[in-house]
């Protein structure tokens, strides 16, 4: 392992460097030198085939406190099928949240502090879906609690809405380490849950915040700058159709403030639709 500087300022500077680089999460209690491990230990862990006895490891080591349960280490397609079956069982949003909290198929659960299932009013006419929780959402256990959430609240306020009138969720309900983008596999595993959440909340209008939400929920191939501001239709598994509007993600608007005018236009379109004028 790299030698650590001994003085406080240098140590702080090193820590700041890691946080800036997105390394803000320790995944294990102790550092591992993966290059020094025997080959067998380095190959990815695979769940043993059903019924087969687990093989003894070439070099046994103490179990990691963060070892993933079997479900999270299974093939993503199998886990997505499991997720679909479990999500379908939920008859209410409370049940869905409890099922998701007990679901071990997504590895993100084991690096996250909390499940950030939803915020706002599930009876609201509008449901907003973002990408994934960040550090603030992970700490609090609710979507859109940090700076993006504050901007979102200001944008909602411009059209006379607040969180008592809208329901908010994410396509992935656990924070990806270091706020990285969720992988296609993580999204595929979590998708049955957000699909069921939309079905159970059954809003009139679905607002997709950012490209990943628009692409994964509406099946759009184009990027968000092409699809934003246009109306699409979202169909639930039980056959209900609702209006869906992709718009720019508030985190993007914080980085690109000049684009706020486009976000503003989309929110105006949402207001008109709620008033039956679009
Ligand atoms: N970004 C998201 O997409 N969702 C959140 O909950 C917070 C930030």
Q: For residues 274 and 278, give the distance between their C-alpha atoms in angstroms, rounded to a whole number.
A: 8
The radius of gyration of the chain's CA atoms, rounded to the nearest angstrom, is 21
Q: Is the per-residue pLDDT at 47 higher than 60?
A: no
Residue 55: which pLDDT band, with cuts at 50, 70 and 90?
very low
DSSP type of residue 151: H
User: 61: pLDDT confidence band, cut at 50, 70 and 90?
Assistant: very low
The pTM is what?
Answer: 0.79
Give the residue, out of 251, 253, 254, 255, with the most ligand 1 atoms within 8 A of its beta carbon, to mutate for a pocket test: 251
Per-residue confidence (pLDDT) for residue 23, from 0 to 100: 66
- Give the list of residues 6+ apart from residue 218 with CB closer than 8 angstroms, or none: 208, 227, 232, 234, 244, 246
Q: What pLDDT digit, counting tens, does each position of 89-144 carry?
A: 999 999 999 999 999 999 999 999 999 999 999 999 999 999 999 999 999 999 99
Q: Which atom of ligand 1 is nearest to the CA of 209?
A: 3
* Rounded Cα distance, 99 and 260, in Å: 37
CA of 261 to the centre of ligand 1 (A): 20
- Looking at residue 17, its pLDDT comes to 75
**Ligand 1: which atom is nearest the Cα of residue 148?**
8
Are 175 and 141 a contacting pair, CB within 8 Å? no
Ligand 1 centroid from CA 59, angstroms: 41
pLDDT value at residue 43: 47
Ligand 1 atom nearest 142 alpha carbon:
6
What are the residue ranges of helices labelled H in the chain? 8-20, 39-42, 70-73, 76-89, 93-101, 135-140, 147-158, 184-201, 211-218, 224-227, 250-255, 260-274
N-to-C CA span, the chain: 61
For domain 76-274, give the CATH superfamily: Uracil-DNA glycosylase-like domain (3.40.470.10)
- What's the pLDDT tens digit per position in 8-31? 888 888 877 776 666 666 665 556
User: Which of 173, 221, 174, 165 is CA-nearest to residue 196?
Assistant: 173
Residue 176: CB within 6 Å of ligand 1?
A: no
Give the residue-averaged pLDDT of 74-96. 94
Per domain, the residue ranges of the chain are 76-274
Residue 36: burial class (beta carbons within 10 Å; 0-12, 13-18, 19+): exposed
Whether pLDDT at 1 is above 90 = no
Residue predicted with more confidence, 267 or 14: 267
pLDDT in tens, 64-73: 445 677 777 7
Distance, in Å, from the CA atom of 5 to the CA atom of 20, rounded to the nearest integer, reads 18
In this prediction, residue 147 carries a pLDDT of: 98
pLDDT tens digits along 202-244: 999 999 999 999 999 999 999 999 999 999 999 999 999 999 9
Task: Return the higher-pLDDT residue of 2 and 221.
Answer: 221
The predicted pLDDT at position 34 comes to 64
Please tell me if the CB atom of residue 212 comes closer than 6 angstroms to any atom of ligand 1.
Answer: no
List all residues 6 or more positions away from 171 whose beta carbon is below 8 Å from its beta carbon: 129, 130, 131, 132, 182, 187, 190, 191, 194, 212, 213, 216, 217
């Amino acid at each position: 392992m790299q030698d650590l500087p001994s003085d406080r300022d240098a140590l702080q500077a090193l820590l700041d460097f890691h946080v800036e680089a997105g390394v803000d999460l320790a995944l294990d209690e102790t550092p591992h030198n993966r290059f020094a491990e025997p080959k067998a230990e380095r190959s990815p862990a695979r769940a043993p085939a059903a019924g087969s006895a687990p093989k003894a490891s070439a070099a046994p080591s103490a179990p990691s406190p963060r070892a993933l349960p079997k479900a999270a280490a299974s093939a993503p397609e199998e886990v997505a099928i499991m997720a679909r079956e479990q999500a379908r069982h939920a008859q209410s949003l409370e049940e869905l949240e409890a099922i998701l909290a007990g679901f071990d198929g997504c590895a993100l659960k084991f690096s996250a502090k909390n499940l950030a299932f939803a915020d706002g009013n599930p009876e609201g006419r509008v449901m907003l879906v973002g990408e994934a929780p960040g550090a603030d959402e992970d700490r609090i256990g609710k979507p859109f609690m940090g700076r993006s959430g504050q901007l979102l609240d200001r944008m909602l306020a411009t059209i006379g809405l607040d969180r008592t009138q809208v329901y908010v969720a994410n396509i992935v309900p656990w924070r990806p380490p270091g706020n990285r983008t969720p992988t296609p596999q993580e999204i595929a595993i979590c998708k049955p849950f957000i699909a069921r959440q939309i079905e159970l909340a059954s809003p009139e209008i679905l607002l997709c915040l950012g490209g990943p939400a628009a692409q994964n929920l509406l099946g759009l191939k184009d990027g968000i700058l092409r699809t934003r501001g246009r109306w699409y239709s979202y169909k639930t598994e039980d056959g209900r159709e609702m209006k869906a509007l992709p718009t720019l993600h508030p985190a993007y608007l914080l980085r690109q403030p000049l684009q706020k005018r486009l976000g503003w236009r989309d929110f105006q379109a949402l207001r008109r639709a709620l008033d039956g004028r679009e």
